[in-house]
Structure formats: C-alpha cells, structure tokens
Amino acid sequence: MDLLNTLVDKGLRRELPTREEALAVLATSDDDLLDVVAAAGKVRRHWFGRRVKLNYLVNLKSGLCPEDCSYCSQRLGSDTGILKYTWLKPEQASQAAAAGLAGGAKRVCLVASGRGPTDRDIDRVAGTIKAIKDQNEGVEVCACLGLLSDGQAERLREAGADAYNHNLNTSESTYGDITTTHTYADRVDTVTKAHAAGLSACSGLIAGMGESDEDLVDVVFSLRELDPDSVPVNFLIPVEGTPLAKEWHLTPQRCLRILAMVRFVCPDIEVRIAGGREVHLRTQQPLALHLANSIFLGDYLTTEGQAGQADLEMIADAGFEVEGTDQVTLPEHRVTAGGGCGSHESAGCGSHDGAGCGSHEAGGVCGTAAVAAEPRTDLVAVRRRGAGTDLAPNA
C-alpha cells in the first residue's frame, strides 16, 4: 500500500503524517491489518529495537475522588465495589513497588486519586519516592497525582521524581462529554507545568468512550504537539457502576489499528499499552508489541491485569526482550534534547484505572470502522490484592 510506504518513510524521518493519513490507518480493513502492523513495526524497531519497557503501578490512595470522570471507577459517587483506602505509608508503597521491580519493571508509577495534591500530599509522596529510591538503585519514579498547582512540579522534581503523568484522554471538542469538574485546558496546563519543571512528561489517551476517528486523531495530534516522552494508550475497561459500563465497542483489530496510528504520529516516543489490553486485545497482545515498546506489568489501579509471569513469557515468545535498567528507553536525540524517558531522568504512568491523573479504566473505541464486540465482562475483575490489602501483589 502506498499509504503504508509513505508512513514508514515519514516515521523513519520523524516527519508528522497528515491528518488524512492518520485517519486512513484507522479506516483500513481487517484484510490489511497485518500489513499495517508490519509497517508500523518497522518504525517501532527503528527507534526502539525489540526492547519492551516494563512499568509497575502503585495505587497510593484509592477511591474517594471528587471528580466526575465518566470512565473512572474511583469517580464521585461511584458504586463499583473497588478498594477504598487513604494514603499508603512510604514503607507500604515501597514494599508494593518491590514486587513489580522484582518482576522486571524499571519504572514505578505512583498514582493517587483526587483532583490534585495538596502541599501536604506532595510531602507524603516525596517521602515515598525517597523510600523507593533508597531501596532500589536506578529505579525510575513517575508521579500521577492529578492537577498540579504552581510550584508543585518543581517540588516533585526536587524530591526525586523523574516524570509526571497526566493524560489528555480524549479530544478537546468531546472532553466536556466525559468530565465536567475540570477542563481539557486544565490537563494541558498540568502537562506544561511538568515539562517546565524538568520532569519527563507522560500523557496519553483513552480509546473507546464513544469518540469518533476524528477525535482519536485530534487527541494524538495534540499529544504530539505537547511533545511528551511517553504516550500511554488505554482501552476503556467498562466497569459496572460507571456511566460508560455499557460501552463495549472495541475489537482486537481496532485496538491494533489505533496503536499503529499512534506509532506513526509519535514514531520516536515511548508508546505504552496501558489499561484494557487484556480485556480488548486478548490473544492479540503479542502483535501489539510490534507497535508499542512499553507495557504495564501485573495489575492496574483498581482492576486486575494479566499475571506478571504471563507477561514475561509473552514478551519472550514474541521474540522481544525486557528492557534493562542499564538501557535508555528513548532514542539519543530525544535524551540529549532534554531529559528522556528511560534514562534515569524520566518516567510516566498513564494507566486509566480510575484516578485524577487519567488512569486506566477506560477502553472501547467506536468510530466508523468498528464492529460492536460482545461484552467480555468475564475479563473485568476488581483488584483485591496488592496495595491496600493484605494479599501479595500480582507482578
């Protein structure tokens, strides 16, 4: 296909595709899907080889959020049956992180529900960052705490945070349909604050909330303009008790096309498969590794993920390798240009499991090419282990 040859050439040159080209990727047929994956895979391998970066989430504070994000199981007034607890102590968070690091993760993402942190919350997180870094040499730590006030990003940087995650989630034109308690501009402002403070910016999207193909392209182009080091792609997990519980539009093929489009628009940026991969990609997860160079290991914030050992086996069986702590994630030109995700000066979370940062409980994609999928409610399980419980975490 001439389209795919053009997109590969542009990706190898770090040249932005046109909107029409990005839309055309989403409109390709299932018959062309393997060609799309192969083309985007060339771009992924050019910039990232066959490495897969592992990230691990620690939910510092679960539930009890005043925001009304429709995709989120921790939203105001939700009745989802998730774990609810206040701030973990630094030693508890460090212990939770240790499980993921032992499983091969090189980055820990510290997430807390809520509109945004107070100054006291920043102090709490600073203590947690210190506890984790004291015990684990070379670990990357990303904070995901919601909307930041002036000076807070700088304080997190001084405390040892490498990155900050705050997802845009969807296009500016549809943002008000998903959330009313804060704005799209608020989210852009927080990503900008993180950048300005010298933190590695991590910002992504949630696919499957009723958006159009145009909305998906809009948000990915907006992310490219913000120039984060990492872009997490979440697929809505329709959790019972949330307004989007009936939104089951995604197919594995649709998810792969979305990941390919993101790779073509963000060729040299860390693309992370975040929440919902187990629910929507299912047996096609190994194919997605040809498009994304980063995943979460184990469970998410409020829902369970694939067993950590199964993730490691999947990566090996697909012919990829786990990225080591001595390897830098981003290409050299991005690292030397200002920090770089994957040196020990960067990080990012980005799962959409229900937090003020836009964590990962979102997931289906509609759009013109989508075919309604049978709801796989059997694949959605509320997390009952790990942080906030007495049971061992999944890592």
Give the pLDDT score at 384. 83
Give the pLDDT score at 330. 96
- Give the catalytic positions in this structure: 65, 69, 72, 109, 142, 202, 272
Please give the class, per CATH, of domain 22-379: alpha beta
Mean pLDDT, to the nearest integer, of 129-158?
A: 96
Maximum pairwise Cα distance, the chain = 55
Residue 350 pLDDT class (50, 70, 90 cuts)? low
Give the pLDDT score at 386. 87
Cα–Cα distance, 387 to 94 (Å, whole number): 10
Cα–Cα distance, 248 to 100 (Å, whole number): 30
**Would the pLDDT of 370 be above 60?**
no
Do residues 391 and 385 lie in contact, with contact meaning Cβ atoms separated by under 8 Å?
yes
Helix or strand holding residue 22 (H, E):
helix 19-26
Give the pLDDT score at 289. 98
| b (16+ CB within 10 A) / e for 193-203 | bbbebebbbbb
Q: What is the pLDDT of residues 268-281, one digit of tens each?
A: 999 999 999 999 99
Q: Indicate the burial class of 213 (C-beta count within 10 angstroms; 0-12, 13-18, 19 or more).
A: buried
**Would the pLDDT of 208 be above 90?**
yes
Give the pLDDT score at 353. 55
Residue 361 pLDDT class (50, 70, 90 cuts)? very low
CB < 8 Å & 24+ apart, contacts of 317-323:
317/286, 318/286, 318/289, 318/290, 319/50, 320/50, 320/51, 320/52, 320/289, 321/50, 321/51, 321/52, 322/51, 322/52, 322/54, 322/104, 323/51, 323/52, 323/53, 323/54, 323/106
**Would the pLDDT of 366 be above 80?**
no
Q: What mean pLDDT, rounded, does the chain reach?
A: 90
Do residues 36 and 55 lie in contact, with contact meaning Cβ atoms separated by under 8 Å?
no
Cα–Cα distance, 217 to 170 (Å, whole number): 10
Cα–Cα distance, 41 to 39 (Å, whole number): 5
More confident residue, 282 or 394: 282
- The closest alpha carbon to 220, from 204, 236, 200, belongs to 204
| b (16+ CB within 10 A) / e for 358-375 | bbbbbbbbbbebbeebee
More confident residue, 379 or 271: 271
Mean pLDDT, to the nearest integer, of 251-266?
A: 98
User: What token pair was written down for 280?
Assistant: 């929507």
Q: Is 292 left (phi over 0), alpha (psi -120 to 50) or beta?
A: beta
Q: What is the pLDDT of residues 305-348, one digit of tens each?
A: 999 999 999 999 999 999 999 999 999 999 876 544 433 333 33
Give the pLDDT score at 373. 65
Give the pLDDT score at 73. 85
Give the pLDDT score at 351. 59
Give the pLDDT score at 108. 97
Domain ranges of the chain: 22-379
**Would the pLDDT of 359 be above 80?**
no
- The closest alpha carbon to 228, from 236, 237, 216, 219, belongs to 219
Lowest mean pLDDT among 3-17, 192-206, 282-296, 363-377: 363-377
Which DSSP letter does residue 292 get?
A: -
Q: What is the pLDDT of residues 153-202, one digit of tens each?
A: 999 999 999 999 999 999 999 999 999 999 999 999 999 999 999 999 99
Q: What is the pLDDT of residues 52-110, one digit of tens each?
A: 999 999 999 988 888 889 888 888 777 788 888 999 999 999 999 999 999 999 999 99
User: What token pair was written down for 338?
Assistant: 């200002």
Do residues 361 and 380 lie in contact, with contact meaning Cβ atoms separated by under 8 Å?
no
User: What token pair was written down for 27?
Assistant: 């409109």
Cα-trace Rg, the chain: 19
What number of other Cβ atoms are within 10 A of residue 161's Cβ? 28
Q: Is 137 left (phi over 0), alpha (psi -120 to 50) or beta?
A: beta
